């Protein structure tokens, strides 16, 4: 289907202050001018291979598969790349674009801290200064990533407004960009925000799905029956899904943060509990109250704790190409423990939401079915959170 420029169906657009319209137009022009060139692609590919560590492996989770008595489960191991999560695929691409635009300063927002770490890493590599905005709540629950960013040389700025999480960090990053636009490049971390960011981030994250498509064919001789990924803003999910969208026989499932349940209101499940609206530059599904004010969110995982979702996901939801569901906090915690104890892989709590869906559904499928899961990051950053549940998780009794 042909879309209006900057839109996915009715979603997307560029709802930005007048002061940002020219920088956004310049960004789009620079993207089209540079990114498709042989020189840019060779440089990016070189960094992804020799610095980031791509391609990441596709791993058959044999013990998890046996435990669930159903579909065969493969993990796309984004947790194994440099910095420990998929975020660096995007920051590497945007960092190289920033250099070509003559920018000397990178700005980023971060929730769980992985995008902040990835931006700080690329800034150091490319000789750029770096400022990262992070909510006070997220800084308290992700202290390891705060330290990592500061060691890498980033100026990490604490945001104390509102819910003190990702939404407010994004607003502060945008304000900074407006005030210093000539020398600054805003490295938006997920597939949302005003056009052209959803398209740019998706294009830099497509490497996940492109690799997975080749790897699963090499492993089993065909495409998987289902792709599964967690969805916060949605960059790792759209990166995995996009190269498979034309394959009608491949089901796709995005898993949001169900928090403490939809009825409780303490969640970040936009498709289950939200409605259409505009936030931070883009039209999509949005958690909001009866008066249209942005609602408070909750998730055990900081990276999924955001009231809106990428506009391309909203479009894929409406045309029913991707099924969107949610996992509760406790289900994600149990999934993290189960994968750790069966496979020796400690997943990020974001990724554990996707695994929670797999644990619930794999046993209902045939042993000939293949589920390919985007393991978006590793769980080092979440060990303090998980430590509080060491004596409470149910998984020890099931292994």
Contact (CB, 8 A) for 273 and 261: no
d(CA 72, CA 361): 12
Residue of 28, 78, 103, 109 with catalytic role: 109
* Residue 183 structure tokens: 């020398």
Peptide bond into 196 cis (omega under 30): yes
Question: HSE of 146 in the Cβ direction (CA atoms, 13 Å)?
Answer: 15
Q: Return all residues near 316 (Cβ < 8 A) that are at least 6 apart.
A: 8, 241, 245, 252, 322
Q: Is 387 considered catalytic here?
A: no
Contact (CB, 8 A) for 239 and 298: no
Q: What are phi and psi of 312, to 5 degrees?
A: -70, -35
Residue of 28, 76, 78, 87 with catalytic role: 87
Residue of 190, 376, 381, 393 with catalytic role: 376
Q: Can you list the positions of beta strands (E) in 16-169? A: 58-60, 72-77, 105-110, 129-135, 155-159
* Residue 251 structure tokens: 């089901």
Question: HSE of 228 in the Cβ direction (CA atoms, 13 Å)?
Answer: 29
Q: Is 376 considered catalytic here?
A: yes
d(CA 303, CA 300): 9
Q: Can you list the positions of beta strands (E) in 260-315? A: 275-279, 282-286
Q: Is 381 considered catalytic here?
A: no
Just list the catalytic residues: 87, 109, 376
């Amino acid at each position: 289907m042909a879309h209006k420029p900057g839109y996915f169906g009715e979603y997307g657009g560029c709802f930005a202050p007048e002061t940002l319209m020219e920088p956004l137009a310049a960004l789009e022009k620079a993207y089209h001018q540079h990114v498709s060139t042989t020189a840019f692609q060779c440089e990016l590919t070189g960094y992804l291979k020799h610095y980031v560590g791509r391609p990441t492996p596709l791993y058959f989770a044999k013990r998890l598969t046996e435990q669930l008595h159903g579909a065969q489960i493969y993990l796309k191991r984004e947790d194994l790349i440099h910095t420990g999560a998929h975020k660096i695929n995007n920051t590497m691409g945007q960092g190289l674009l920033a250099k070509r635009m003559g920018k000397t300063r990178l700005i980023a927002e971060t929730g769980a801290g992985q995008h902040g770490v990835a931006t700080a890493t690329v800034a150091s590599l490319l000789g750029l200064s770096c400022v990262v905005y992070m909510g006070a709540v997220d800084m308290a629950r992700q202290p390891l990533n705060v330290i990592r960013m500061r060691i890498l040389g980033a100026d990490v700025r604490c945001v104390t407004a509102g819910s003190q999480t990702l939404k407010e960090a994004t607003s502060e990053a945008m304000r900074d960009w407006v005030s210093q636009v000539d020398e600054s490049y805003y490295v938006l971390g997920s597939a949302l925000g005003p056009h052209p960011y959803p398209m740019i981030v998706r294009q830099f994250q497509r490497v996940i799905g492109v690799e997975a498509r080749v790897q699963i064919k090499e492993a089993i001789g065909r495409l998987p029956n289902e792709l599964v990924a967690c969805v916060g803003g949605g960059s790792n999910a759209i990166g995995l899904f996009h190269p498979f969208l034309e394959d009608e026989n491949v089901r796709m499932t995005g898993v949001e943060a169900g928090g403490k349940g939809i009825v409780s209101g303490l969640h970040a499940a936009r498709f289950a509990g939200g409605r259409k609206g505009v936030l931070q530059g883009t039209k999509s599904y949005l958690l909001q109250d009866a008066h249209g004010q942005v609602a408070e969110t909750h998730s055990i995982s900081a990276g999924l704790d955001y009231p809106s979702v990428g506009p391309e996901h909203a479009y894929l939801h409406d045309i029913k190409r991707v099924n969107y569901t949610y996992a509760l906090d406790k289900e994600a915690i149990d999934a993290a423990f189960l994968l750790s104890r069966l496979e020796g892989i400690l997943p990020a709590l974001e990724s554990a939401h996707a695994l929670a869906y797999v644990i619930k559904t794999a046993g209902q499928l045939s042993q000939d079915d293949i589920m390919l899961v985007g393991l978006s990051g590793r769980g080092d950053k979440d060990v303090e959170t998980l430590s509080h549940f060491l004596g409470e998780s149910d998984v020890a009794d099931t292994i």
